Amino acid sequence: MAELLSIILAAGEGTRMRSATPKLLHPVGGLPIIGHVVRAAVGAGSTQVAMITAPEHERLRAEVAAAFPDVQFFQQAERRGTAHAAAMARPLWEGARGYVAVVYGDHPLLSGPIFKLVTDRLDAGMDAAILGFIPANPTGYGRFITDGERLLAIREHKDASEEERKIGLCNACILAFRADVFRELIDRVGSNNAQNEFYVTDLVELANAAGHKVGYAVAPERDVMGVNDRAQLARAEAQFQELRRDDFMRAGVTLKDPSTVYFSYDTEIGRDVTIFPNVVFGPGVKIGDNVEIRAFCDIEDVTIGEGASIGPFARIRAGAEIGPNAHLGNFVEVKKSRIGAGTKAGHLSYLGDAEIGSGVNIGAGTITCNYDGVNKDKTIIGDDVFIGSNASLVAPVTIGDRAYTASGSVITEDVPADAVAFGRARQENKPGYAPKLREQALAKKAAKQAAKGKA
Protein backbone atom coordinates (compact mmCIF):
# COMPACT_ATOMS: atom_id res chain seq x y z
CA MET A 1 0.00 0.00 0.00
CA ALA A 2 1.42 3.38 -1.02
CA GLU A 3 2.23 6.02 1.55
CA LEU A 4 -0.37 8.77 1.68
CA LEU A 5 0.11 12.37 2.80
CA SER A 6 -3.23 14.11 3.32
CA ILE A 7 -3.19 17.91 3.38
CA ILE A 8 -6.40 19.21 4.98
CA LEU A 9 -7.32 22.79 4.13
CA ALA A 10 -8.70 24.45 7.26
CA ALA A 11 -7.68 28.12 6.97
CA GLY A 12 -11.07 29.52 5.94
CA GLU A 13 -12.76 32.07 8.16
CA GLY A 14 -16.25 30.55 8.04
CA THR A 15 -17.90 33.96 8.38
CA ARG A 16 -21.28 32.66 7.21
CA MET A 17 -21.61 30.66 10.43
CA ARG A 18 -21.98 33.94 12.33
CA SER A 19 -20.18 32.41 15.28
CA ALA A 20 -17.32 33.06 17.68
CA THR A 21 -16.52 29.36 17.35
CA PRO A 22 -14.42 28.45 14.28
CA LYS A 23 -16.61 26.83 11.65
CA LEU A 24 -14.71 23.57 11.64
CA LEU A 25 -15.18 23.13 15.40
CA HIS A 26 -18.96 23.07 15.15
CA PRO A 27 -20.02 19.49 15.90
CA VAL A 28 -21.86 16.97 13.79
CA GLY A 29 -22.75 13.82 15.67
CA GLY A 30 -20.81 15.03 18.69
CA LEU A 31 -17.53 15.45 16.79
CA PRO A 32 -16.22 18.71 15.29
CA ILE A 33 -16.50 18.90 11.52
CA ILE A 34 -12.72 18.84 11.18
CA GLY A 35 -12.57 15.70 13.33
CA HIS A 36 -14.68 13.81 10.81
CA VAL A 37 -12.32 14.82 8.01
CA VAL A 38 -9.24 13.73 9.97
CA ARG A 39 -10.90 10.40 10.77
CA ALA A 40 -11.70 9.91 7.08
CA ALA A 41 -8.10 10.63 6.09
CA VAL A 42 -6.79 8.19 8.68
CA GLY A 43 -9.40 5.62 7.68
CA ALA A 44 -8.21 5.86 4.08
CA GLY A 45 -4.70 4.91 5.16
CA SER A 46 -2.98 8.28 5.52
CA THR A 47 0.53 7.83 6.89
CA GLN A 48 0.85 11.59 7.48
CA VAL A 49 -1.83 14.24 8.00
CA ALA A 50 -1.05 17.94 7.57
CA MET A 51 -3.51 20.70 8.41
CA ILE A 52 -3.36 24.21 7.01
CA THR A 53 -4.82 26.84 9.35
CA ALA A 54 -4.82 30.61 9.65
CA PRO A 55 -2.49 32.19 12.24
CA GLU A 56 -5.42 33.25 14.42
CA HIS A 57 -6.82 29.70 14.65
CA GLU A 58 -5.13 28.82 17.94
CA ARG A 59 -8.27 27.18 19.32
CA LEU A 60 -8.71 25.03 16.23
CA ARG A 61 -5.12 23.84 16.40
CA ALA A 62 -5.34 23.16 20.13
CA GLU A 63 -8.50 21.08 19.90
CA VAL A 64 -7.35 19.10 16.88
CA ALA A 65 -3.95 18.44 18.50
CA ALA A 66 -5.64 17.19 21.66
CA ALA A 67 -7.81 14.72 19.74
CA PHE A 68 -5.32 13.83 16.97
CA PRO A 69 -1.77 14.31 18.25
CA ASP A 70 -0.15 13.05 15.03
CA VAL A 71 -1.57 15.87 12.89
CA GLN A 72 1.09 18.38 11.78
CA PHE A 73 0.12 22.03 11.44
CA PHE A 74 1.14 24.68 8.91
CA GLN A 75 -0.13 28.25 8.63
CA GLN A 76 -1.39 30.24 5.68
CA ALA A 77 -0.77 33.85 6.68
CA GLU A 78 -2.40 35.29 3.54
CA ARG A 79 -5.63 33.98 1.98
CA ARG A 80 -4.37 33.45 -1.56
CA GLY A 81 -6.34 30.38 -2.56
CA THR A 82 -6.40 26.62 -2.11
CA ALA A 83 -3.20 25.84 -4.04
CA HIS A 84 -1.35 28.48 -2.02
CA ALA A 85 -2.71 26.86 1.16
CA ALA A 86 -1.68 23.35 0.12
CA ALA A 87 1.81 24.59 -0.70
CA MET A 88 2.26 25.61 2.97
CA ALA A 89 2.88 21.95 3.81
CA ARG A 90 6.05 22.04 1.71
CA PRO A 91 8.28 20.44 4.38
CA LEU A 92 6.15 17.29 4.09
CA TRP A 93 5.28 17.06 0.40
CA GLU A 94 8.79 17.85 -0.76
CA GLY A 95 9.90 14.51 0.66
CA ALA A 96 6.66 12.59 0.26
CA ARG A 97 6.57 9.18 -1.35
CA GLY A 98 3.48 7.50 -2.68
CA TYR A 99 0.48 9.84 -2.88
CA VAL A 100 -0.48 13.37 -1.85
CA ALA A 101 -4.14 14.24 -1.31
CA VAL A 102 -5.55 17.74 -0.80
CA VAL A 103 -8.78 17.64 1.22
CA TYR A 104 -11.25 20.41 2.00
CA GLY A 105 -11.85 20.51 5.74
CA ASP A 106 -15.58 21.32 5.88
CA HIS A 107 -17.12 17.97 4.87
CA PRO A 108 -18.33 16.20 8.02
CA LEU A 109 -19.88 13.17 6.29
CA LEU A 110 -16.68 12.21 4.51
CA SER A 111 -15.55 8.67 5.33
CA GLY A 112 -12.53 6.48 4.75
CA PRO A 113 -14.20 4.36 2.04
CA ILE A 114 -15.31 7.46 0.12
CA PHE A 115 -11.81 8.92 0.46
CA LYS A 116 -10.35 5.71 -0.98
CA LEU A 117 -12.35 6.10 -4.17
CA VAL A 118 -9.63 8.45 -5.43
CA THR A 119 -6.59 6.63 -4.03
CA ASP A 120 -7.94 3.45 -5.62
CA ARG A 121 -7.82 5.27 -8.97
CA LEU A 122 -4.17 6.08 -8.32
CA ASP A 123 -3.56 2.41 -7.45
CA ALA A 124 -5.09 1.56 -10.83
CA GLY A 125 -2.48 3.62 -12.65
CA MET A 126 -3.76 7.19 -12.72
CA ASP A 127 -1.32 10.01 -11.98
CA ALA A 128 -4.07 12.14 -10.47
CA ALA A 129 -7.65 11.45 -9.40
CA ILE A 130 -10.29 13.90 -8.25
CA LEU A 131 -13.48 13.18 -6.33
CA GLY A 132 -16.65 14.44 -7.96
CA PHE A 133 -20.37 14.35 -7.27
CA ILE A 134 -23.63 15.31 -8.94
CA PRO A 135 -25.43 17.85 -6.73
CA ALA A 136 -29.11 18.64 -6.95
CA ASN A 137 -28.07 22.26 -7.47
CA PRO A 138 -24.59 22.73 -8.98
CA THR A 139 -24.51 26.51 -8.53
CA GLY A 140 -21.27 27.60 -6.93
CA TYR A 141 -19.36 24.37 -7.53
CA GLY A 142 -16.44 23.81 -9.88
CA ARG A 143 -17.51 21.82 -12.97
CA PHE A 144 -15.75 18.70 -14.25
CA ILE A 145 -14.83 18.92 -17.91
CA THR A 146 -14.34 15.32 -19.02
CA ASP A 147 -13.56 13.15 -21.99
CA GLY A 148 -14.87 9.72 -21.13
CA GLU A 149 -13.00 8.55 -18.03
CA ARG A 150 -10.44 11.34 -18.37
CA LEU A 151 -10.79 14.57 -16.42
CA LEU A 152 -9.52 17.42 -18.56
CA ALA A 153 -10.13 20.40 -16.26
CA ILE A 154 -12.11 21.76 -13.34
CA ARG A 155 -13.68 25.11 -14.07
CA GLU A 156 -14.63 27.16 -11.02
CA HIS A 157 -18.19 28.46 -11.20
CA LYS A 158 -17.16 32.12 -11.43
CA ASP A 159 -14.83 31.35 -14.33
CA ALA A 160 -17.11 28.89 -16.15
CA SER A 161 -18.90 29.73 -19.40
CA GLU A 162 -22.66 29.43 -19.64
CA GLU A 163 -22.23 26.12 -21.46
CA GLU A 164 -19.85 24.79 -18.80
CA ARG A 165 -22.27 25.79 -16.04
CA LYS A 166 -24.78 23.34 -17.52
CA ILE A 167 -22.48 20.47 -16.52
CA GLY A 168 -23.89 18.50 -13.56
CA LEU A 169 -20.71 16.72 -12.47
CA CYS A 170 -18.92 18.90 -9.92
CA ASN A 171 -15.84 19.03 -7.75
CA ALA A 172 -16.37 17.48 -4.33
CA CYS A 173 -13.61 17.69 -1.74
CA ILE A 174 -10.51 15.56 -2.53
CA LEU A 175 -7.78 15.94 -5.14
CA ALA A 176 -5.19 13.15 -5.07
CA PHE A 177 -1.88 12.90 -6.95
CA ARG A 178 1.19 10.77 -7.18
CA ALA A 179 3.65 12.59 -4.95
CA ASP A 180 6.12 13.26 -7.78
CA VAL A 181 3.34 14.74 -9.93
CA PHE A 182 2.19 17.02 -7.11
CA ARG A 183 5.77 18.24 -6.57
CA GLU A 184 6.19 18.85 -10.27
CA LEU A 185 3.06 20.97 -10.63
CA ILE A 186 2.12 22.75 -7.40
CA ASP A 187 4.42 25.73 -7.91
CA ARG A 188 3.20 26.19 -11.50
CA VAL A 189 -0.34 27.16 -10.47
CA GLY A 190 -1.15 30.73 -11.49
CA SER A 191 -3.78 33.23 -10.38
CA ASN A 192 -5.26 34.35 -13.69
CA ASN A 193 -8.90 33.96 -12.71
CA ALA A 194 -11.89 35.93 -11.43
CA GLN A 195 -10.75 35.64 -7.81
CA ASN A 196 -7.08 36.38 -8.50
CA GLU A 197 -6.28 33.32 -6.38
CA PHE A 198 -4.22 30.17 -6.78
CA TYR A 199 -6.71 27.33 -7.28
CA VAL A 200 -5.63 23.79 -6.42
CA THR A 201 -8.14 22.65 -9.06
CA ASP A 202 -5.88 24.15 -11.75
CA LEU A 203 -3.55 21.21 -11.12
CA VAL A 204 -5.87 19.15 -13.32
CA GLU A 205 -5.18 21.14 -16.49
CA LEU A 206 -1.50 21.39 -15.63
CA ALA A 207 -1.31 17.60 -15.21
CA ASN A 208 -2.99 17.02 -18.57
CA ALA A 209 -0.68 19.50 -20.25
CA ALA A 210 2.31 17.64 -18.82
CA GLY A 211 1.05 14.37 -20.28
CA HIS A 212 -0.15 12.80 -17.02
CA LYS A 213 -3.22 10.60 -16.74
CA VAL A 214 -5.99 12.30 -14.78
CA GLY A 215 -9.12 10.42 -13.74
CA TYR A 216 -11.99 10.93 -11.37
CA ALA A 217 -14.39 9.08 -9.08
CA VAL A 218 -17.98 9.97 -8.26
CA ALA A 219 -19.35 9.96 -4.71
CA PRO A 220 -22.98 10.19 -3.54
CA GLU A 221 -23.93 13.78 -2.78
CA ARG A 222 -24.76 13.07 0.86
CA ASP A 223 -21.25 11.70 1.56
CA VAL A 224 -19.51 14.89 0.44
CA MET A 225 -21.92 17.45 1.86
CA GLY A 226 -20.12 20.69 2.73
CA VAL A 227 -20.97 23.06 5.57
CA ASN A 228 -20.79 26.83 5.24
CA ASP A 229 -23.66 28.08 7.40
CA ARG A 230 -26.03 27.00 10.16
CA ALA A 231 -28.64 25.67 7.75
CA GLN A 232 -26.10 23.38 6.08
CA LEU A 233 -24.84 22.35 9.53
CA ALA A 234 -28.37 21.28 10.48
CA ARG A 235 -28.75 19.34 7.22
CA ALA A 236 -25.43 17.58 7.82
CA GLU A 237 -26.52 16.64 11.34
CA ALA A 238 -29.82 15.30 10.04
CA GLN A 239 -28.07 13.25 7.37
CA PHE A 240 -25.53 11.93 9.87
CA GLN A 241 -28.29 10.84 12.24
CA GLU A 242 -30.27 9.17 9.47
CA LEU A 243 -27.24 7.12 8.46
CA ARG A 244 -26.46 6.11 12.06
CA ARG A 245 -30.04 5.09 12.75
CA ASP A 246 -30.09 2.89 9.66
CA ASP A 247 -26.75 1.32 10.61
CA PHE A 248 -27.92 0.46 14.12
CA MET A 249 -31.28 -0.94 13.05
CA ARG A 250 -29.54 -3.16 10.50
CA ALA A 251 -27.21 -4.33 13.28
CA GLY A 252 -30.06 -5.53 15.49
CA VAL A 253 -31.09 -2.45 17.49
CA THR A 254 -34.79 -1.63 17.86
CA LEU A 255 -35.64 2.08 17.66
CA LYS A 256 -39.25 2.71 18.63
CA ASP A 257 -39.28 6.11 16.93
CA PRO A 258 -36.03 6.43 14.94
CA SER A 259 -36.36 10.11 14.04
CA THR A 260 -36.31 11.13 17.73
CA VAL A 261 -33.13 9.23 18.71
CA TYR A 262 -29.79 11.00 18.33
CA PHE A 263 -26.44 9.23 18.23
CA SER A 264 -22.85 10.35 18.50
CA TYR A 265 -20.05 9.51 16.11
CA ASP A 266 -18.61 6.88 18.50
CA THR A 267 -21.78 5.31 19.96
CA GLU A 268 -21.44 1.54 20.33
CA ILE A 269 -24.56 -0.60 20.82
CA GLY A 270 -24.92 -4.37 21.16
CA ARG A 271 -27.62 -6.64 19.78
CA ASP A 272 -31.26 -6.77 20.86
CA VAL A 273 -31.12 -3.35 22.46
CA THR A 274 -34.41 -1.44 22.53
CA ILE A 275 -34.38 2.35 22.50
CA PHE A 276 -37.58 4.29 23.13
CA PRO A 277 -38.36 7.78 21.73
CA ASN A 278 -36.49 10.98 22.54
CA VAL A 279 -33.14 9.56 23.63
CA VAL A 280 -29.88 11.47 23.09
CA PHE A 281 -26.47 9.80 23.13
CA GLY A 282 -23.46 12.05 23.60
CA PRO A 283 -19.88 10.95 22.95
CA GLY A 284 -18.37 7.97 24.72
CA VAL A 285 -21.36 5.61 25.06
CA LYS A 286 -20.96 1.82 24.95
CA ILE A 287 -24.03 -0.35 25.45
CA GLY A 288 -24.10 -4.13 25.89
CA ASP A 289 -26.65 -6.63 24.58
CA ASN A 290 -30.29 -6.78 25.67
CA VAL A 291 -30.35 -3.30 27.20
CA GLU A 292 -33.52 -1.21 27.32
CA ILE A 293 -33.29 2.58 27.15
CA ARG A 294 -36.68 4.10 27.86
CA ALA A 295 -37.91 7.51 26.69
CA PHE A 296 -36.37 10.92 27.34
CA CYS A 297 -32.91 9.85 28.48
CA ASP A 298 -29.69 11.83 28.05
CA ILE A 299 -26.68 9.51 28.08
CA GLU A 300 -23.02 10.48 27.66
CA ASP A 301 -19.60 9.00 28.46
CA VAL A 302 -20.92 5.77 29.98
CA THR A 303 -20.62 2.01 29.68
CA ILE A 304 -23.88 0.12 30.19
CA GLY A 305 -23.75 -3.61 30.88
CA GLU A 306 -25.82 -6.38 29.36
CA GLY A 307 -29.45 -6.55 30.37
CA ALA A 308 -29.55 -3.15 32.10
CA SER A 309 -32.63 -0.94 32.04
CA ILE A 310 -32.37 2.86 31.91
CA GLY A 311 -35.08 5.48 32.25
CA PRO A 312 -37.44 7.00 31.42
CA PHE A 313 -36.14 10.50 32.10
CA ALA A 314 -32.67 9.43 33.27
CA ARG A 315 -29.42 11.33 32.85
CA ILE A 316 -26.23 9.26 32.83
CA ARG A 317 -22.92 11.04 32.27
CA ALA A 318 -19.26 11.75 33.02
CA GLY A 319 -17.54 8.39 33.18
CA ALA A 320 -20.35 6.30 34.68
CA GLU A 321 -20.27 2.52 34.52
CA ILE A 322 -23.57 0.67 34.80
CA GLY A 323 -23.33 -3.04 35.58
CA PRO A 324 -25.28 -5.92 34.04
CA ASN A 325 -29.00 -6.06 34.85
CA ALA A 326 -28.87 -2.80 36.79
CA HIS A 327 -31.94 -0.56 36.71
CA LEU A 328 -31.92 3.24 36.79
CA GLY A 329 -35.42 4.64 36.62
CA ASN A 330 -37.19 7.94 36.15
CA PHE A 331 -35.41 11.13 37.14
CA VAL A 332 -32.23 9.37 38.23
CA GLU A 333 -28.93 11.10 37.50
CA VAL A 334 -25.60 9.26 37.64
CA LYS A 335 -22.25 10.99 37.33
CA LYS A 336 -18.77 9.44 37.59
CA SER A 337 -20.09 6.41 39.45
CA ARG A 338 -19.91 2.66 39.15
CA ILE A 339 -23.25 0.90 39.61
CA GLY A 340 -22.94 -2.82 40.32
CA ALA A 341 -24.78 -5.74 38.76
CA GLY A 342 -28.45 -5.95 39.61
CA THR A 343 -28.49 -2.70 41.56
CA LYS A 344 -31.68 -0.64 41.37
CA ALA A 345 -32.32 3.07 41.72
CA GLY A 346 -35.91 3.42 40.62
CA HIS A 347 -36.78 7.06 41.22
CA LEU A 348 -35.62 10.59 41.86
CA SER A 349 -32.00 10.05 42.91
CA TYR A 350 -28.62 11.63 42.33
CA LEU A 351 -25.63 9.28 42.45
CA GLY A 352 -22.39 11.17 41.93
CA ASP A 353 -18.80 10.09 42.62
CA ALA A 354 -20.00 6.79 44.02
CA GLU A 355 -18.85 3.18 44.05
CA ILE A 356 -21.97 1.05 44.46
CA GLY A 357 -21.87 -2.71 44.72
CA SER A 358 -24.18 -5.37 43.35
CA GLY A 359 -27.72 -6.11 44.45
CA VAL A 360 -28.17 -2.70 46.10
CA ASN A 361 -31.55 -1.03 46.48
CA ILE A 362 -31.42 2.77 46.29
CA GLY A 363 -34.60 4.30 47.70
CA ALA A 364 -36.42 7.19 46.09
CA GLY A 365 -34.94 10.60 46.78
CA THR A 366 -31.45 9.35 47.65
CA ILE A 367 -28.59 11.80 47.21
CA THR A 368 -24.86 11.21 47.42
CA CYS A 369 -23.68 14.55 48.79
CA ASN A 370 -20.36 14.56 47.00
CA TYR A 371 -19.45 18.27 46.92
CA ASP A 372 -18.56 20.48 49.87
CA GLY A 373 -18.16 23.65 47.83
CA VAL A 374 -14.48 23.00 47.19
CA ASN A 375 -13.78 19.27 46.95
CA LYS A 376 -15.64 16.24 45.65
CA ASP A 377 -15.51 13.06 47.73
CA LYS A 378 -16.59 9.48 47.13
CA THR A 379 -19.45 7.45 48.55
CA ILE A 380 -18.78 3.71 48.75
CA ILE A 381 -21.68 1.29 49.12
CA GLY A 382 -21.09 -2.45 49.46
CA ASP A 383 -23.10 -5.37 48.09
CA ASP A 384 -26.73 -6.09 48.98
CA VAL A 385 -27.20 -2.80 50.82
CA PHE A 386 -30.65 -1.25 51.33
CA ILE A 387 -30.72 2.56 51.20
CA GLY A 388 -34.02 3.87 52.53
CA SER A 389 -35.95 6.58 50.73
CA ASN A 390 -34.99 10.23 51.10
CA ALA A 391 -31.48 9.44 52.33
CA SER A 392 -28.58 11.88 52.12
CA LEU A 393 -25.19 10.16 52.08
CA VAL A 394 -22.58 12.77 52.97
CA ALA A 395 -19.25 11.88 51.38
CA PRO A 396 -16.71 10.67 52.15
CA VAL A 397 -18.65 7.78 53.61
CA THR A 398 -18.64 3.98 53.34
CA ILE A 399 -21.63 1.71 53.86
CA GLY A 400 -20.72 -1.93 54.40
CA ASP A 401 -22.19 -5.04 52.80
CA ARG A 402 -25.81 -5.90 53.66
CA ALA A 403 -26.25 -2.73 55.75
CA TYR A 404 -29.49 -0.74 55.97
CA THR A 405 -29.99 2.99 56.22
CA ALA A 406 -33.32 4.16 57.57
CA SER A 407 -35.58 6.33 55.43
CA GLY A 408 -35.02 10.05 55.84
CA SER A 409 -31.54 9.60 57.27
CA VAL A 410 -28.56 11.88 56.81
CA ILE A 411 -25.57 9.52 56.91
CA THR A 412 -22.35 11.29 57.88
CA GLU A 413 -20.36 8.37 59.37
CA ASP A 414 -19.34 4.99 58.00
CA VAL A 415 -21.88 2.19 58.46
CA PRO A 416 -20.45 -1.27 59.28
CA ALA A 417 -21.52 -4.37 57.39
CA ASP A 418 -24.88 -5.80 58.54
CA ALA A 419 -25.68 -2.67 60.59
CA VAL A 420 -28.78 -0.47 60.47
CA ALA A 421 -28.06 3.26 60.51
CA PHE A 422 -30.50 5.93 61.74
CA GLY A 423 -29.42 9.45 60.93
CA ARG A 424 -32.54 11.44 61.82
CA ALA A 425 -34.07 13.23 64.82
CA ARG A 426 -36.27 11.22 67.18
CA GLN A 427 -39.96 11.66 66.38
CA GLU A 428 -42.09 13.57 68.91
CA ASN A 429 -45.93 13.53 68.84
CA LYS A 430 -48.02 16.37 70.34
CA PRO A 431 -51.59 15.11 70.88
CA GLY A 432 -54.37 17.52 69.89
CA TYR A 433 -52.03 20.13 68.47
CA ALA A 434 -53.01 19.67 64.79
CA PRO A 435 -56.30 21.70 65.03
CA LYS A 436 -54.36 24.65 66.49
CA LEU A 437 -51.91 24.59 63.57
CA ARG A 438 -54.82 24.36 61.13
CA GLU A 439 -56.58 27.32 62.77
CA GLN A 440 -53.41 29.40 62.58
CA ALA A 441 -53.00 28.55 58.90
CA LEU A 442 -56.59 29.42 58.07
CA ALA A 443 -56.35 32.72 59.94
CA LYS A 444 -53.20 33.59 58.02
CA LYS A 445 -54.90 32.76 54.73
CA ALA A 446 -57.97 34.88 55.63
CA ALA A 447 -55.77 37.84 56.54
CA LYS A 448 -54.02 37.63 53.16
CA GLN A 449 -57.33 37.52 51.30
CA ALA A 450 -58.68 40.50 53.28
CA ALA A 451 -55.57 42.53 52.54
CA LYS A 452 -55.87 41.62 48.87
CA GLY A 453 -59.54 42.74 48.82
CA LYS A 454 -58.69 46.17 50.29
CA ALA A 455 -55.99 46.63 47.68
Let me know if 347 is a catalytic residue.
Answer: yes
Collapsing DSSP states into helix, strand and coil, what is residue 449? Answer: helix
Q: Are 359 and 376 in contact (CB under 8 A)?
A: no
The CATH number given to 4-224 is: 3.90.550.10
Alpha helices, DSSP H only, in 229-353? 230-250
The CA distance from 110 to 222, in Å, is 9
Please list, in sequence order, all residues whose beta carbon lies within 8 angstroms of the beta carbon of residue 19, skipping any fewer than 6 positions away: 26
Residue numbers in the chain where pLDDT is lower than 70: 1, 455
Please list, in sequence order, all residues whose beta carbon lies within 8 angstroms of the beta carbon of residue 431, skipping any fewer than 6 positions away: none
| Partners of residue 299 on adjacent β-strands | 281, 316
What is the pLDDT, as a whole number, of residue 1? 67
The CATH number given to 248-421 is: 2.160.10.10
CB atoms within 10 A of CB 95: 10
pLDDT digits (tens, 9 = 90+) for 362-411: 999 999 999 988 889 999 999 999 999 999 999 999 999 999 999 999 99
DSSP type of residue 425? P
Q: Are 399 and 405 in contact (CB under 8 A)?
A: yes
- CA torsion sign, 300 to 305 to 311 to 316? negative
What are the residue boundaries of the structural domains of the chain, listed by start? 4-224, 248-421
pLDDT digits (tens, 9 = 90+) for 10-62: 998 888 999 999 999 999 999 999 999 999 999 999 999 999 999 999 999 99
What is the pLDDT, as a whole number, of residue 350? 98
What is the pLDDT, as a whole number, of residue 437? 87
How far is CA 364 from each of CA 39, 317, 328, 436, rounded to the nearest angstrom? 44, 20, 11, 32
Q: Are 305 and 289 in contact (CB under 8 A)?
A: no
What is the pLDDT, as a whole number, of residue 425? 84
pTM above 0.75, yes or no: yes
Strands 128-133 and 170-178: antiparallel
